[in-house]
Chain A
Amino acid sequence: MFLNALRELWGSSGFAALTWQQVMMILMACFLIYLAIVKKFEPLLLMPIAFGMLLVNLPLTGLMSEPGYVTGPGGLLYYLYQGVKLGIYPSLIFLGIGAMTDFGPLIARPSSLFLGAGAQFGICVAFVLASALGFQPSDAASIAIIGGADGPTAIFIASRLAPELLPAIAIAAYSYMALIPLIQPPIMRLLTTKKERETGMEQLRSVSKLEKVCFPVIVTILCVLLLPSVAPLIGMLMLGNLFRESGVVERLSETAQNSLINIVTIFLGVTVGATANAETFLRPQTIMIVGLGLFAFIFSTIGGLLLGKVMYWATKGKINPLIGSAGVSAVPMATRVSHIEGQKANPANFLLMHAIGPNVAGVIGSAVAAGVLLSLFG
Chain B
Amino acid sequence: MDLLESVSVSLFLLAVVFFVLLCLYLSIRLFSFLLKKIQQGKLSSDANMKI
Contact = CB atoms under 8 A, between A and B. Distances in A.
Contact of B24 (A110, A120, A127): A110
B10 to A, nearest CB: 4
B43 interface: no
Of the candidates A111, A117, A137, A365, the one having the most CB atoms from chain B within 10 angstroms of its own CB is A117
A137 B21 CA distance: 25
A124 B14 contact: yes
A131 B21 contact: no
Contacts of B35: 208, 210-211
Contacts of A128: 3, 6-7, 10
A125 interface: yes
Contacts of A222: 20, 23-24, 27
Contacts of B11: 124
A110 B25 contact: yes
A123 interface: yes
- B interface majority secondary structure: helix
Interface string B18-51: 1111111101110110010000000000000000
Contacts of B23: 222, 226
Of the candidates B5, B11, B13, B23, the one having the most CB atoms from chain A within 10 angstroms of its own CB is B13
A114 B25 contact: yes
Given A110-B24, A127-B6, A219-B24, A369 B31 contact: no
A361 B21 contact: yes
Interface residues of B, number: 27
B22 to A, nearest CB: 8
A226 B10 contact: no
Given A123-B13, A124-B13, A132-B3, A114 B31 contact: no
Given A226-B20, A365-B21, A218 B6 contact: no
Given A125-B10, A128-B7, A211-B35, A113 B17 contact: no
- A interface majority secondary structure: helix
B29 A117 contact: no
Interface string A204-238: 00001011001100110011001100000000000
B33 to A, nearest CB: 11
A368 interface: yes
A110 B20 contact: no
Contacts of B14: 117, 120-121, 124
A369 B13 contact: yes
Nearest to B10: A124
A340 interface: no
Nearest to A218: B27
A376 interface: yes
A111 B6 contact: no
Given A110-B24, A127-B9, 15 more contacts: A107-B32, A110-B32, A114-B25, A116-B21, A120-B14, A124-B10, A128-B10, A131-B5, A137-B1, A137-B9, A140-B1, A219-B24, A361-B21, A368-B17, A369-B13
Interface of B: 1, 3, 5-7, 9-14, 16-25, 27-29, 31-32, 35
20 contacts: A107-B28, A110-B24, A110-B28, A110-B32, A113-B21, A114-B18, A114-B25, A116-B21, A124-B14, A127-B6, A127-B9, A128-B7, A140-B6, A222-B20, A364-B24, A365-B17, A365-B21, A368-B21, A369-B13, A373-B13
